[in-house]
């Protein structure tokens, strides 16, 4: 059966982002015990794969690169209906930028799902939001990629008609053969997890692999393999008046008009 | 780094229409090149004549690398990646800038991966460090910080940059050359096959170039309350913008979303109501001359970066504000003995007040 691979990124739950901090020296994100959730767009990617499974009998493999404590997050993908999950997890992989991340995920896919027909990603992650990983995975695997995918028609399950949303226009593409697709939220509505799924997920294979397991070139992973660096962080300079106005609606409205008038705005 | 010289810009075009972001980036590249005594390169792929390519010189390019081929009129990621990488490998620019548009976000990562270099996404500023390294400013991690990203060892240094952050330069009478590049592409470079190009109807959004922007956030609470913003914008001759959650609620169309993933605006007056002031949004408004914030939470982060902050319920403050503005407007009109403009007769610009004197 053809195989779809879904790249899933566990991200710190956006509800707790006020607890995130950055290591001022390395610029690496300190996640500080915040629970992780599946990056929301990745669920839309998974839904595409699950529909291929429902309609054409495809197999669905989930891959991820993340710290080991995120296995529970991957269980959720299994509960939604994926068949198996692989997590690349290793200290050596820490501090990776998008290039090193894509290289690692591509290595994982080469090792564990070399006969993939389709790789699906969310078009961006809520936390990093670079949108760079999917095209870079495609490069490392030597297959084409389509991003900003807002619609996929599976037709016969062999030829796919894909809409790329360019904002000012749409490109409609047709493709057969292995490809990487990065989807937007317009593409579908992901299914919810039910109790049967959760029970089934407990028995599904979830394997954690180290860098050594993946035959990776150590100079291309983690911080060493990342060409970009965070030089420093700064608070944007604030040259604003910051005059606070309080009181009853009528008073504050009057006061605001006066101040705007003073600065020549009204 | 040694033999890598020149600041390059990828010029985005859709079916022959050159996007502004490429021209904006030429302006910035010009500034960086002048500061370091080097040249500006423009990469143009499409079905173009040399004469058309020459126009880029007036926007700041010294050399225009033209890849002209009918198949390049439509974007194909593999073909574009191949040709861009070919030019970069041959000419060795120190930096390459690409618009942070969907097309740019599709192309840039693959180019960077093929060239084995770094890429920063959605930059809101570019500058040179004291060591001559390009500093790429990226709004940081959902918070209130900015991160300075560098690519110290690999070349070219690559960045995608948000449309609208740099001004589009005025065309000038300048000298430069157009270099015709050989286009060698095969069928394999043209997959996935493009079967259709659908131009979307181009709505000119009133937000572009508006001198007053009234922006609503999730705190507006409902579509009914949203009308208050429309009314205020009409009264001030401005346009209405929205935050992401407000767009998600369906109170405003996607085109008017302001911020990192939406529009960057530069009004004289920005009024944000029920907007918390998360950096993703604020980067889109920080060039406003005056920022007014109306929020019921005195600890809302937006109060830290505003000129006038009103602590209060927007659904009460806005009607009061609108009422008082109307009174003022009426007084001004009575004084000048002209009719008060009717609200529903289209935008009324306060700037036109003095006209009848
Ligand atoms: C990668 C990424 C990109 C993003 N890009 C953008 C972008 O381009 N643009 C964008 O806008 N967002 C963007 N976001 C979302 C952004 O992080 C914030 O979630 C969003 O800007 C918050 O919108 P908001 O202020 O309307 O809503 P909230 O943060 O929910 O704030 C609502 C505010 O309204 C106040 N309020 C509630 N009721 C009232 C009332 N009656 N009167 C007055 N005040 C009231 C509350 O105190 C609160 O401060 C992005 C997020 C990510 C992760």
Residue A250 lies in a domain: no
Answer yes or no: do B312 and A167 touch at CB < 8 A: no
CA of B246 to the centre of ligand 1 (A): 8
Question: Does residue A261 form part of some domain?
Answer: no
Tell me if A248 is assigned to some domain.
no
Per-residue pLDDT at A232: 85
Residue nearest to atom 41 of ligand 1 (CA): B313
* Mean pLDDT in residue range A189-211: 96
Residue pair B56/B42 in contact by the 8 Å Cβ criterion: yes
Asked if A144 and B191 touch (Cβ cutoff 8 Å), the reply is: yes
The CA-based diameter of chain A, rounded to the nearest angstrom, is 72
Cα-Cα end-to-end distance for chain A: 68
Token pair of B81 as six digits? 């990646």
| Mean pLDDT of chain B, nearest integer | 91
3-class secondary-structure state, position A74 = helix
* In contact, A172 and A162? CB cutoff 8 Å: yes
Neighbours of A178 (CB within 10 A): 18
- For the record, the structure tokens of B324 come out as 């008082």
- Render pLDDT for A138-160 as a digit per residue (tens, 0 to 9): 999 999 999 999 999 998 899 99
Distance from the alpha carbon of residue B257 to the mean position of ligand 1, in angstroms: 11
Token code pair at residue A236: 């944007």
Cα–Cα distance, B258 to B236 (Å, whole number): 19
Per cent of chain B over pLDDT 70 is 92
Q: What is the pLDDT of residues A61-90, one digit of tens each?
A: 999 999 998 999 999 999 999 999 999 999
Within 6 Å (CB) of ligand 1, which residues are found? A 126, 129; B 142, 217-219, 221, 243-246, 257-262, 274-276, 278, 280-281, 294-297, 300, 313-315
- Give domain status of residue A242, yes or no: no
Domains and CATH numbers, chain B: 7-190 (3.40.50.620), 212-337 (3.40.50.1220)
Task: Please report whether residue A40 resides in a domain.
Answer: yes
- How far is it, in rounded angstroms, from Cα B267 to Cα B85? 39
Q: How far is the CA of B146 from the centre of ligand 1 (A)?
A: 18
The whole-number pLDDT of residue B338 equals 73
Nearest to B292 by CA among B262, B261, B248, B325: B325
Residues 6+ apart with CB under 8 A from B55: B171
CB-CB under 8 Å, B106 with A148: yes
The pLDDT of residue B54 is above 60: yes
- How far A165 CA lies from chain B's nearest CA (Å)? 7
Which atom of ligand 1 lies at the shortest distance from residue B277's CA? 25
Element holding B9 (H helix, E strand): strand B7-11
A233, A237, B29, B63, B130 from B150: Cα distances, Å: 12, 20, 17, 26, 13
Closest listed residue to residue B216, CA positions, set B271, B134, B152: B271
Do B303 and B276 form a contact (C-beta atoms < 8 A)? no
In a domain, A159, yes or no: yes
SS3 label, residue A265: coil
Locate all alpha helices (DSSP H) within B217-300, ordered by sequence.
223-236, 244-248, 279-282
Q: What integer pLDDT is reported at residue A26 of this predicted model?
A: 63
Q: Which two tokens stand for residue A17?
A: 């982002």
DSSP A45-60: HHHHHHHHHHHH--EE
pLDDT score of A197? 96
Task: Work out how many domains chain A is built from and give that number.
Answer: 1
Kindly identify which residue of chain A lies nearest to residue B297, measuring between CA atoms. Answer: A246
Mutation target for A interface from B278, B280, B310, B326: give the one with most A CBs within 10 A. B310
Count of Cβ atoms closer than 10 Å to residue A203 Cβ? 7
The confidence band for A19, taking pLDDT boundaries of 50, 70 and 90, is low
Q: Which atom of ligand 1 is nearest to the CA of B272?
A: 25
Counting ligand 1 atoms within 8 A of each CB, the residue from B122, B214, B226, B243 with the most, and so the one to mutate, is: B243
C-alpha closest to that of B146 among B256, B309, B305? B305
CB contact under 8 A, A243 and B307: yes
pLDDT on residue B353: 37
Q: By C-alpha distance, which of B96, B90, B52 is closest to B73?
A: B52
Residue from the list B113, B145, B291 with its beta carbon closest to the beta carbon of A234:
B145
Interface size between A and B, measured as CB pairs under 8 A: 240
DSSP line for A16-31: GGGG-EE-TTT--EE-
Write the ipTM.
0.91
Residue B95 pLDDT: 98
Is a pLDDT exceeding 80 seen at residue B142? no
Cα A17 to middle of ligand 1, angstroms: 14
Q: What's this model's pTM, rounded to 2 decimal places? A: 0.83
Q: What residue spans of A149-222 are helical by DSSP H?
A: 195-203
Q: How many angstroms separate the CA atoms of B173 and B64, rounded?
A: 15
What is the number of alpha carbons within 13 Å of residue B254 lying toward its C-beta? 4
Residue A259 belongs to a domain: no
The residue-averaged pLDDT of B346-351 equals 39
Asked if residue B333 has a cis previous peptide bond (ω within 30° of 0), the answer is no
Instruction: Round the CA-based radius of gyration of chain A to a whole number and report it.
Output: 22
Distance from C-alpha of A263 to C-alpha of B83, rounded to nearest angstrom: 52
**pLDDT tens readout for residues B65-99:** 999 999 999 999 999 999 999 999 999 999 999 99
Residue B275 Cα to ligand 1 middle (Å): 5
Cross-chain residue pair B118–A226, CB shorter than 8 Å: yes
Q: With cut-offs at 50, 70 and 90, classify the pLDDT of residue A25.
A: low
Q: Mind telling me how many Å the CA of A10 is from chain B's nearest CA? A: 15
**What range defines the domain where residue A204 resides?**
3-220
Please name the residue ranges forming H helices in B49-148: 50-58, 77-91, 102-115
The torsion of the CA quartet B221, B223, B227, B233, rounded to 10 degrees, works out to 80
- Residue to mutate among B15, B127, B141, B152, with most A CBs inside 10 A, is B141
pLDDT above 50 (res B143)? no
Would residue A237 count as lying in a domain?
no
> Does position B225 have pLDDT exceeding 50, yes or no?
yes
Task: For residue A29, name the pLDDT band (cuts at 50, 70, 90).
Answer: low
| Nearest beta carbon to residue B312 from set A147, A170, A252 | A252
**CATH of residue A87:** 3.40.50.620
Judged by CB atoms closer than 8 Å, whether chains meet at B119 and A179 is answered as no
Cα dist from B15 to A168, B73, B110, whole Å: 11, 5, 21
Q: How many residues does chain A have?
A: 266
pLDDT surpasses 90 at B346? no
Sequence-distant (6+) residues with CB within 8 A of B114 are A139, B81, B85
CA atoms within 13 A on the CB side of B277: 24
pLDDT at B334 over 70: yes
**B165, B284, B308, B321: which to substitute to probe chain A, counting the most A Cβ within 10 Å?**
B308
Do the bridges between strand B125-128 and strand B119-123 make them parallel or antiparallel, or are there none, so unpaired?
A: unpaired
More confident position, B280 or B117: B117
CA distance A97 to A17: 20
Supply the pLDDT for residue A121.
98
Beta carbons of A253 and B323 less than 8 Å apart: yes
CA distance B41 to B33: 10
Query: pLDDT > 70: what percent of chain A?
Result: 92
Two tokens at A206?
């979830």
CA B221 vs. chain centroid, Å, equals 28
Q: C-alpha B252: how far from its chain's center?
A: 19
């Amino acid at each position: 059966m053809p195989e779809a691979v879904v790249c899933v990124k566990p991200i710190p739950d956006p509800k707790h982002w006020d607890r995130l901090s950055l290591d001022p020296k390395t610029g690496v994100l300190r996640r500080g015990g915040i629970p992780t959730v599946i990056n929301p767009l990745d669920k839309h990617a998974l839904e595409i794969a699950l529909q291929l499974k429902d309609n054409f009998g495809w197999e669905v493999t989930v891959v991820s690169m993340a710290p080991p404590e995120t296995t529970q997050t991957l269980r959720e993908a299994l509960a939604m209906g994926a068949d198996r999950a692989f997590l690349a997890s290793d200290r050596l992989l820490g501090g990776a930028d998008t290039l090193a991340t894509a290289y690692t995920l591509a290595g994982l896919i080469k090792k564990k799902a070399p006969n993939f027909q389709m790789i699906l990603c969310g078009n961006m992650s809520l936390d990093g939001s670079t949108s760079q990983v999917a095209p870079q995975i495609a490069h490392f695997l030597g297959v084409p990629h389509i991003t900003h995918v807002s619609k996929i028609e599976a037709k016969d399950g062999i030829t796919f008609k894909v809409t790329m949303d360019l904002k000012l226009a749409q490109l409609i593409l047709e493709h057969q053969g292995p490809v990487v697709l990065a989807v937007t939220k317009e593409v579908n509505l992901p299914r919810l997890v039910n109790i049967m799924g959760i029970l089934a997920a407990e028995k599904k294979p979830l394997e954690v692999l180290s860098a050594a397991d993946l035959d990776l070139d150590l100079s291309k992973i983690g911080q060493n393999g990342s060409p970009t660096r965070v030089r420093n962080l700064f608070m944007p300079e604030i040259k604003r008046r910051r005059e606070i106005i309080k009181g009853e609606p009528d008073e504050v409205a009057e006061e605001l008009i006066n101040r705007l008038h003073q600065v020549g705005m009204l | 780094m040694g033999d890598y010289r020149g600041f390059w810009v990828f010029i985005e075009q859709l079916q022959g229409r050159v996007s502004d972001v490429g021209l904006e980036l030429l302006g910035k590249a010009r500034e960086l090149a002048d500061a370091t005594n080097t040249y500006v390169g423009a990469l143009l792929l499409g079905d173009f004549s040399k004469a058309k390519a020459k126009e880029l010189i007036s926007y700041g390019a010294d050399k225009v690398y033209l890849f002209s081929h009918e198949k390049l009129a439509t974007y194909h990621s593999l073909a574009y990646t191949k040709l861009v990488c070919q030019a970069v490998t041959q000419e060795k620019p120190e930096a390459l800038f690409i618009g942070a548009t969907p097309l740019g976000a599709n192309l840039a990562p693959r180019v960077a991966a093929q060239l084995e270099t770094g890429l920063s996404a959605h930059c809101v500023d570019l500058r040179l460090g004291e060591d001559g390294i390009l500093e790429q400013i990226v709004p940081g991690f959902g918070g209130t910080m900015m991160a300075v990203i560098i690519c110290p060892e690999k070349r070219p240094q690559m960045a995608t940059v948000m449309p609208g952050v740099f001004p589009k330069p005025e065309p000038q009478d300048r000298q430069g050359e157009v270099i015709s590049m050989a286009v060698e592409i095969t069928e394999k470079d043209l997959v996935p096959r493009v079967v259709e190009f659908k131009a979307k109807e181009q709505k000119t959004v009133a937000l572009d170039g508006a001198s007053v922007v009234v922006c609503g956030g999730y705190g507006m609470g409902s579509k009914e309350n949203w009308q208050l913003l429309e009314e205020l914008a009409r009264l001030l001759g401005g346009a209405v913008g929205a935050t992401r959650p407000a767009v998600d609620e369906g109170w405003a169309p996607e085109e008017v979303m302001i911020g990192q993933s939406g529009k960057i605006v530069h009004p004289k007056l920005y009024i944000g109501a029920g907007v918390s002031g998360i950096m993703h949004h604020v980067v889109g408004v920080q060039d406003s001359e005056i920022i007014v914030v109306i929020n019921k939470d005195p600890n809302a982060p937006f109060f830290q970066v505003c000129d006038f902050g009103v602590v209060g319920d927007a659904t009460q403050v806005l009607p009061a504000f609108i009422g008082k503005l109307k009174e003022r407007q009426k007084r001004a009109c009575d004084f000048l003995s002209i009719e008060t403009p009717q609200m529903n007769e289209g935008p009324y610009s306060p700037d036109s007040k003095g006209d009848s004197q």
